[in-house]
Amino acid sequence: MKIGDQKPVPPPAPGVDGAAEPVTKADGAGFAEQLDDVEGGEEAAAGSPLGDLAVLAKRIDQGELAPDEAMRILVDRVLDSQLGPHSPPEIREQARSFVQEALASDPHLVALTHRLGGGQ
């Protein structure tokens, strides 16, 4: 039998077993609210290589942290994640140099850095 010999089968109508209910705009808002209520997000963020970015952003907004310092913290977290916190200093500095060069020369990363407020 050829694949093209079969007639397509339409998806089941909403309300029928196995059919997806239509999504409304209100459902989307409810989903976002449900995400806000999920517990354990802090632990998940802490386990991320970048940690909780919202905390850094809040500290920048409150004037507790300069954008350049936040960028240094993020680079350190990435280096810890990729190289390990006890990597040799010379390897770490070489990797830091590559990351800083990319942050300064890649147009997309430059734009992101400026959005954070860390651009010169």
- In whole angstroms, what is the distance from residue 44 CA to residue 66 CA? 25
DSSP-H helix ranges across the chain = 25-36, 41-47, 53-61, 67-83, 89-105, 107-116
What 3-state class would DSSP assign to 17?
A: coil
Cα angle for residues 56, 87, 51 (degrees, 5° grid): 20
Is the predicted pLDDT of residue 40 greater than 90, yes or no? no
For residue 31, what are the CA distances in angstroms to 27, 92, 103?
6, 41, 35
Q: Tell me the mean pLDDT in the region 13-21.
A: 62
pLDDT-derived band at 67, boundaries 50, 70, 90: confident
pLDDT of residue 62: 87
Instruction: Choose among 4, 5, 21, 3: nearest CA to 13.
Output: 21
